[in-house]
Homo-oligomer: A and B are copies of this chain.
Amino acid sequence: MLKLRGCALARPAAYDRTMTSSFYAIIPAGGAGTRLWPLSRATRPKFLLDLDGSGRSLLQRTWDRLIEVTDPSRIFVVTGQDHADAVRAQLPELGDDRVLAEPAPRDSMPAIGWAASVIARLDPDAIIGSFAADQIIDDSPAFAEAVRQARIAAEADYVCTIGVSPSGPSTAFGYIESGDNLGLAPAPEARAVVRFAEKPDATTAAAFLATGRHSWNAGMFVSKASVLIGHLRRLHPDLAASLESWADEPERLDATWARLPAIAIDHAIAEPVAAEGGIATVPATFAWNDIGDFGALADLSSGANVESVVLDGSAFISSTTGRPVTVIGLEDAIVVDTGDALLVTTRAHAQRVKQATEAWREKGRADLL
């Protein structure tokens, strides 16, 4: 439950001096990450894990990236009540009043909308940006530049998404189709968004890449809090009313949250507002990895974090037990060794890990998940 206390906001730092409004970052820290099971568990989801051996969890790396573009006092995390303590433990600089703990998952729109309404109360002129807690972006200057241009578009009342340049015709991501340049001088790369497309099939993905106008939708949105809330009031008035009521009566949250629709910001706002010409996009020039499955993790990580012998083939090995692993005669094998569960698969089947978790649930072994 959120307790609003006076937020002692720091003086705007260098990154804010050229902007009219202050920038607030929202980190939606949700998602089970079941495709990374058994590393990722219900009690220890993907965003809390140090998946690449960097020494920092994905959540902490998101924080590290965001304190380059705003003051730590303007960063909010929305997470499940079960994970609020772990989030606080991993981010000691994050004040209790900036951890918004959801009673139950309702997808990204209620989470972001709630944070937006809380921030709008603190600062009616706020510009907000939402950045998922479970992605890896290594190039802080390029990230900061994308955020800077997105803030310019947001000042012009757009909801601006940061589109990731596709490295190939992936079928694992939604796509953003951009149109005309918006002609915003300080944001020379900002373009109107024509439409959003859901995860395509392989043929469609290849066609998207051929246009040169499509980027991956990484779920990064920047807008004025007031603009976002305005869209919500217009398109989802019941949801907007619920979110705004909590600022006055936080004790009502627990009772009303359960009635909220589970809806993603893409469907709730991005798609309809794009049709109205209200969405902008700026390109991300940084490398980006959402670590959507063990194949993506294998791309990112140099490999075995335990002693191993691999004969006649190749393997990505991830271990939390430290036991030596031997793999013979498999190509692109994936071996994930944890204290209470062992997974063996191949890169080609990495997306099916989610189905395996469902099979364990059906067997009555939800304790493993």
Contacts and interface: CB of A to CB of B under 8 A. Distances in A.
Contact of A330 (B328, B330, B353, B355): B330
Nearest to A336: B326
Contacts of A368: 324
Nearest to A338: B323
Most buried by B among A330, A335, A339: A330
13 contacts: A307-B363, A307-B365, A309-B356, A309-B363, A311-B356, A312-B352, A323-B340, A328-B346, A328-B352, A328-B356, A330-B345, A333-B344, A335-B342
Most buried by B among A324, A337, A344, A365: A344
B365 A326 contact: no
B345 A328 contact: yes
Contacts of A326: 38, 341-345, 353, 356, 360
The 9 closest A-B pairs by CB, nearest first: A329-B349, A328-B345, A309-B359, A326-B343, A328-B349, A325-B342, A326-B356, A327-B344, A328-B352
Contacts of A307: 363, 365
A7 interface: no
Contact of A353 (B323, B328, B353): B328
Most buried by B among A342, A346, A352, A360: A342
Interface of A: 38, 307, 309, 311-312, 315, 323-330, 333, 335, 337, 339-346, 348-349, 352-353, 355-356, 359-360, 363, 365, 368
B352 A311 contact: yes
A362 to B, nearest CB: 9
A264 to B, nearest CB: 27
A345 B325 contact: no
Given A309-B360, A311-B349, A323-B340, 19 more contacts: A38-B326, A309-B356, A309-B363, A311-B352, A311-B356, A324-B341, A324-B365, A324-B368, A325-B342, A325-B343, A326-B342, A326-B353, A327-B343, A327-B344, A328-B346, A328-B356, A329-B346, A330-B345, A333-B344
What's the dominant secondary structure at chain A's contact region?
A: mixed
Nearest to A323: B342
Contacts of A328: 343-346, 349, 352-353, 355-356
A309 to B, nearest CB: 4
A36 to B, nearest CB: 13
Contacts of A355: 311, 328
